[in-house]
Amino acid sequence: MIQFSLADLSERPADDPLGRPSMGWREGMSPEIVYALNRGCWSLGEAAEEHTVALFASTGDGTVRLAVAIERIEDAGEIDGDKKRAVVGTVLRPGHPVHDRYVGHRAPEQLNVTFRYVTAECRQVEASTGNVCTTGAKWIVTPDDGPEYIACGHHVTAPLGGSVPFRARPMR
């Protein structure tokens, strides 16, 4: 998962490679606008291509304002000779486990840099101890008869109870 910083809304230079009029965030902006203004231009290396989820958190209070399912990372031109890249993906909505876990809540890390690769915690309750699992979540699980959730490898089937059909896709 990649966590990006969202500063206060500000104007972009006229030579912005993505043609954006501004970047950042302010209260009341729709998720689509936040995504369009902040999906690039980042100095992302090849490691970014391994990730499937992006969080965008405000630098002021550290609250996640947007979650995106990453489809790919694309080239976005250059700024001052530095190659920039942009996230291409789908804005996650209420009801998606990543959205519900993070959007409106404190980000996994308070950033003093523009972005960082972070690990989501599983957060499933251990049946034997009642403790919350803090192992890194690796899967988005979709049961045939229930809501999606995220889990580590050990807890993929834990909330299902019996033999409930499900699909799991990787979360990075």
pLDDT band at 113 (very low <50, low <70, confident <90, very high): very low
Decide: 148 and 142 in contact? Cβ < 8 Å: yes
Decide: 121 and 137 in contact? Cβ < 8 Å: yes
Nearest to 166 by CA among 145, 137, 138: 145
Region 100-105 average pLDDT: 93
Q: Provide the whole-model pTM.
A: 0.69
The residue ranges of every structural domain in the chain are 2-117, 119-172
- DSSP states along 77-94: EEETTEEEEEEEEEE--T
pLDDT band at 122 (very low <50, low <70, confident <90, very high): low
Sorted by sequence, the CB contacts under 8 Å of residue 22 that are 6+ apart come out as 9, 10, 11, 12, 37
Q: Please tell me which of 17-31, 101-115, 126-140 the model is most confident about, judged by mean pLDDT.
A: 17-31
| Cα–Cα dist 42/172, whole Å | 18
DSSP 89: E
Side chain identity, residue 105: H
pLDDT of residue 61: 86
pLDDT band at 96 (very low <50, low <70, confident <90, very high): very high
Question: Mean pLDDT of all residues in the chain?
Answer: 82
pLDDT digit string, tens, across residues 59-92? 888 899 999 999 999 988 887 788 889 999 999 9
User: Within the chain, where are the H helices?
Assistant: 31-38, 97-102
Radius of gyration of the chain (CA): 17
Whether 112 has a pLDDT exceeding 70, the answer reads no
Residue with tokens 């998606």: 96
Higher pLDDT residue, 89 or 142?
89
3-state SS track over 108-142: CCCCCCCEEECCCECCCECCCCCCECCCECCEEEE
DSSP 13: P
Residue 130: other Cβ atoms inside 10 A: 7
pLDDT digit string, tens, across residues 17-61? 888 888 888 999 999 999 999 998 888 888 888 899 999 998 888
Nearest to 37 by CA among 62, 70, 7: 7
pLDDT of residue 155: 72
